[in-house]
Amino acid sequence: MFAEVIPFRPSGFANILTYKIEEISKNAEVGDIAEIAMGTSREKCVIIKLLETEPDFKTKSLGRIIAKNIFSASEIKNICDIAGHFFTSPSHILKKAIPANIRNTNFINSTEFVNIAKNTVEKKENNSIEKNINIKISLGSVYSKRSIDEVNFIKKNTENNNQQVVVIFPDIISLEQAFSQYENIFSDICVFHSQVSKKKQIEAFWKIKTGNTQIIFGTQYSLCIPFFNLSGIIVYEFAHGSHYTKFSPFTQTMRSAEIVAKNMNIPLLYTSCAGDIATLTQNKNSEIVKHQKMYASQKQIHIVDMQLEHQNKNFSPLSALALQKIKENLQNNKKTILYINRKGLHHYIKCPNCGDSPVSQYTGSKMNVFKNEKNQIVLRCNTMGYAQKIETSEMCENCKVPMQKIGAGTQAIEEILENLDAKILRIDGDSFQTKSSQKRMREEIKTADIIIGTQMMLSLGSIAECSLIIDILFENNLQFFSFTTEEIAWIQTHLLEEMFEKPQENMQLEYIIQTFQPNLQIIQNHDNFENFYASEILSRKILKYPPFTEGLEIEIRAKVREKCESDIQKVIQILQEDRTVFFPPEIKSVPHTQSFLVSVMCFMDPEKKELFLGKLGELKVKYFLRVV
């Protein structure tokens, strides 16, 4: 007998390995955890298939069985299907599904195993495939009837004692906030994520596995942990802009959740303040419930044209209206939120004559201007952390004239408001890094008058006594190059609105959007999702972007720049022959290595994908694939 296994540690040469079952592992079954030899070390693995016939290559012996019946056949299928869809190794999924605190232990003591094995004998196995997914989409504000949909879904799918529902959150902060609200409704909620202690993580793992809890709150990787009897999935508020700029199974959670729901034939509830276009288009025949915001009549939106501010000689990042409203808010003892998706003092500095700007010696990108802990002005590379001190009157080496400061960040806004008699709190990547700083920030928010932050604060949820939100420069939301740029900007503006706490009857909420392009369609349709969706989906259809095509990113690395260029040209030639839409590639040097990286993003019809991958394989070029 032989066994196909997925190692917990990703292998550089294969995703699924084959081992011979010897006397020490004669009781091996699908879903068991076993030890295997990988190189000079011993690693843990999951058995995914038993083979009767001997393979035509040399195999090593399977080690001892550590734990039995950890994963069911359907859960293994979930992991393999998600890995196949996103062109990644199943080991990467396992690394997330079973965190290091559990992977690095012996799972259980032999005495404990007997009791757990008895509890898991009755586990319900569901091997359903090719089923229609029962998806419900609930859209609207936190302060609407949308939350009732979530509560009813959990109650309906945990009616029997052996049923479980997993609720997926985009980040741990959102999870903790929701937990404080739901614990008053449901008495037994199991929290499972990477930042709980090792002891609590292992306890939660076995509570879920043995069916001693019905409701599981977790982050993205919780989709693939071994459940007792999963009967429903909720993808909660997965509309956070930062998740859409990366490509992996755990940054495209809704797609992974659909794979799990289809394989296990269970219902799926997607709940969001705004929704995303791909999900709504692919599930347009599903039940979609749109809830009206309860405070819609109390909200007033101001769109400020910053070009007019410049004509009136106001070159500050804050408009006259914004400053006036901030002062009025302070007098009324209300909180103000200022959102700017840039940290630091300025974007960069440049010479007004020759246009030269200081660049990082590692990446070649322009260096940002920051103020460090000693109040010294420094230039810093955000990619590598490299910094160098400069004077406030920095001179151009060529022209000998003062350098011009371009753009503003959170530190610049903080300096502008320092003369106000107010407690100012800044939340960005520099002040909001560690778990302790996040807890401290949540406490300081309660006493702060003005909160300045980047998109990191969007996950904080509603803030009490907040009646004014200012988006300092809307164009900052449109600065990265992607077909989802406007969609992400739309989502972020609505996540900003979620920071309004449920207001009192006579309380007026004001939202100021500062922009140099007030006629942008995304701004004009701020509260009209139907119009925004119609225009966005039309442009994607014309340009052949997802969801009408499938997006792939092909990445090539090489130690010689010429090798990168020649290999990517072979890929581009195939794309041109097939008349596939693609973005022009750009070669970059990889920091701290003597190598280069180049990637090309393309969009093709699903029918052409298999043919394209076949041609790509014939090139004999080393590449990495990612799903866009």
CATH of domain 135-290: 3.40.50.300
In this predicted model, what pLDDT tens digit does every residue of 114-167 receive, in sequence order? 344 344 434 444 433 344 568 888 887 655 555 788 888 999 999 887 899 999
Question: What's the pLDDT score for residue 306?
Answer: 94
Instruction: Find the mean pLDDT for residues 55-72.
Output: 88
Domain 550-627 sits in CATH at 3.30.70.260
Res 125: pLDDT: 44
| Burial state string for 16-50 with b = 16 or more CB within 10 A and e = fewer than 16 | bbbbbbeeebeebebbbbbbbeeeeeebbbbbbee
H or E, element range at 323: helix 320-331
Q: Tell whether the model's pLDDT for residue 219 goes beyond 90.
A: no
The whole-angstrom separation of Cα 79 and Cα 102 is: 18
End-to-end CA distance of the chain: 40
Give the pLDDT score at 302: 92
Give the DSSP per-residue string, 245-303: GS-STTTSHHHHHHHHHHHHT--EEEEESS--HHHHHHTTTSEEEEPPPTTGGGEEEEE
pLDDT of 358 reads 84
More confident residue, 337 or 584: 337
In this prediction, residues 348-353 reach a mean pLDDT of 86
> What pLDDT was estimated at residue 597?
84
Find the farthest-apart pair of alpha carbons in the chain and give their distance in angstroms, rounded: 85
Architecture of the domain whose range is 296-344+408-539: 3-Layer(aba) Sandwich (3.40)
Q: How confident is the model at residue 392 (pLDDT cuts 50, 70, 90)?
A: low
The domain spans of the chain are 2-120, 135-290, 296-344+408-539, 346-407, 550-627
Q: Pick 181 or 223 by higher pLDDT.
A: 223
Burial profile 86-107: b = 16 or more Cβ within 10 angstroms, e = fewer: bbbbbbbbbbbbbbebbbeeeb
Of 173 and 300, more confident = 300
Highest mean pLDDT: which range of 355-359, 372-376, 465-469: 465-469
Range picked from 88-102, 306-320, 488-502, 513-527 for highest mean pLDDT = 306-320
Q: What are 625's strand-pairing partners?
A: 554
CA 495 vs CA 83, 135, 212, 238: distances in Å = 30, 23, 35, 11
Number of Cβ within 10 Å of residue 148's Cβ equals: 11
Instruction: Average the pLDDT over each of 169-178, 207-216, 403-412, 497-506 and give the range with the smallest value.
Output: 497-506
pLDDT, position 12: 55
Of the candidates 570, 547, 564, 572, the one whose C-alpha atom is nearest the C-alpha of residue 627 is 547
For residue 410, give the nearest of 463, 462, 337, 313 by alpha carbon: 337
pTM, full prediction: 0.81
Higher pLDDT, 390 or 272: 272
Q: Which long-range contacts (CB under 8 A, 24 or more apart) does 428-437 make?
A: 428/343, 428/453, 428/454, 428/456, 429/343, 429/454, 429/456, 430/343, 430/370, 432/456, 432/457, 435/195
Per-residue pLDDT, averaged over 181-208, amounts to 85
pLDDT of residue 330: 92
Return the higher-pLDDT residue of 460 and 24: 24
Residue type, position 563, single letter = K
- The reported pLDDT for the residue numbered 119 is 43
In percent, the amount of the chain with pLDDT more than 70 equals 86
As a whole number, mean pLDDT of residues 351-379 equals 81
Whether residue 477 has pLDDT greater than 60 = yes
Give the residue-averaged pLDDT of 611-628.
82
DSSP symbols for 110-138? HHHHHHHHHHHTTPPP----SPPP-EEEE
pLDDT at position 243 over 60? no
SS3 3: strand
Q: Are strands 65-67 and 33-38 parallel, antiparallel or unpaired?
A: antiparallel
Is residue 453 a contact partner of residue 339, using CB atoms and an 8 Å limit? yes
Say what the pLDDT of residue 83 is.
86
Rounded CA gap, 242 and 488, in Å?
A: 8
Q: What is the mean pLDDT of the chain?
A: 81
Rounded to an integer, the average pLDDT of 353-380 is 81
High-pLDDT (> 90) share of the chain, %: 20
Higher pLDDT, 121 or 351: 351
* CATH 3.40.1440.60 is the classification of domain 2-120: yes
Q: Averaged over 55-68, what is the pLDDT?
A: 88
Tell me, what DSSP letter sits at residue 515?
A: E
Q: What is the pLDDT of residue 104?
A: 61
| Strand-pair partners of 445 | none
Q: Give per-residue pLDDT as tens, 270-318.
A: 888 777 788 888 887 788 887 766 555 577 889 999 999 999 999 899 9
Q: Which whole number is the average pLDDT over 224-247?
A: 70
pLDDT value of residue 140: 75
d(CA 16, CA 614): 21
Domain 135-290 and domain 550-627 have a common topology: no
Arithmetic mean of pLDDT, 259-280: 86
